[in-house]
Amino acid sequence: MPDLLTESTSVAPLPTDDVLSCVRIGKVKQLGPGSVTSAIEKSPCVGKVCVTEQGIIGDEQAYEHHGGTDKALHQYCSRHYEAWRREVPDRAHLFNIGGYGENISAHSFDETNTCIGDILEIGSEGVLVQVSEPRQPCFKLNRRFEFAQASIRTQTTRRTGWYLRVLKPGFIQAGDRIRLIHRINPEWSIGRVGGILWEDRKNIEALKVLSELPGLGKEIAQVFRKRLATREEEDMLFRLNGEASMWEEPRGFGAAETGSLVILVQVFVFVGIMFGLWIVLRRVVVQLEVKDYQGTWVDKAVEAVEVFELVAVEEWV
């Protein structure tokens, strides 16, 4: 199987027919401490569920950019969880099917053999979905897996999953067959598109192709068009780290919630120091004004330093 990070521009391999490991939906709720909300924690569905152009009925998104027709469903390769458990053993209990908030998962489909525009058929009713774009990892993965590098590691390994638009609605359930029935962009796998999106971001020739690639989601296509027009790269820091982008520790969980508090404390400390310094300098000026200097400016400077030291000791010790 091709490596996600060494994929060339050659034609992507075809995925083998498979069955859905699960079908899941979730409700928006608080994700960890603080005010961040998400529907990433999804529960498995029992029996058939109805899939519309907006997604599975009953599934929710925390805000509009997580939904829409280009992002009706999120698919993730169930095989990736084995790799995550090996790589992050202290969080292994969190890396289980459904952990990435996917609606559907299958074993044989991954980012090397799934291409933009692929049309997949699911179940006996012939529900049709089309691959639209890679999932862009965000800081909520850090909270979900209690692992501060989850979002960036997901992006760099390109084990992101992808979004699907629904071409033919219907009912699906876990155990349904999923198979590729049509491919229009054999050279543009999810992994390769992700490479241009996050790493090889100044590849002008690739940007020209991707900005007009048939089947690519509007949001990602616009990213490529803007990059091509301005020659500027978008900032990924907040998406990957959120409110902890400047303060989070390299490993662990909790700094994301304390980032804002750290800033607030630093502001208060700075203001306190400046206020104390102002009081001391004010007293220094007052005391210097009552002195009758006869010496040179050097003598005056020495006297000012001595007065400052005395006042500082009185104020702070």
Q: Which of these, 102, 212, 247, lies nearest to 164 by C-alpha position?
A: 102
Same domain, 128 and 233: yes
Q: Is the pLDDT of residue 301 over 60?
A: no
3-state SS assignment for residue 171: strand
- Are 153 and 79 part of one and the same domain? yes
Domain end, chosen from 245, 269, 300, is at: 245
Q: What is the pTM of this model?
A: 0.76
Residue from 70, 52, 11 nearest 222 by CA: 70
User: Can you give the pLDDT at residue 34?
Assistant: 84
Helices (H), ranges, 176-241 = 190-198, 204-210, 218-230, 237-241
Strand 18-19 relative to strand 73-77, pairing: unpaired
Q: Could you tell me the CA-to-CA distances from 215 to 118, 133, 204, 227 in Å, in that order?
A: 8, 9, 20, 19
Using 50, 70 and 90 to split pLDDT, how confident is the model at 4? low
pLDDT band at residue 16 under the 50/70/90 scheme? very high
Pairing of strands 43-44, 22-25: antiparallel
| Residue, of 259 and 195, whose pLDDT is higher | 195
Q: Which residue has the tokens 């790269």?
A: 233
- pLDDT value at 14 more than 50: yes
Q: Tell me what percent of the residues of the chain surpass a pLDDT of 70.
A: 73
- Same domain? For 44 and 150 the reply is yes
Question: Which structural domain range is residue 304 located in?
Answer: 259-316
216 near 210, Cβ under 8 Å? yes
Residues 69 and 169 in one domain: yes
- Phi, psi at residue 204, to the nearest 5°? -60, -45
pLDDT tens for each residue of 241-297: 986 543 344 344 443 344 444 455 566 657 667 766 656 566 655 555 545 545 565
Q: Does one domain contain both 69 and 158?
A: yes
Whichever domain contains 184, its CATH number is: 2.40.33.20
Say if residue 176's pLDDT is above 70. Answer: yes
For the CA atoms of 9, 12, 13, 19, the dihedral, rounded to the nearest 10 degrees, stands at 150
pLDDT in tens, 198-225: 999 999 999 999 999 999 999 999 999 9
Give the separation between CA 57 and CA 50, rounded to whole angstroms.
Answer: 6
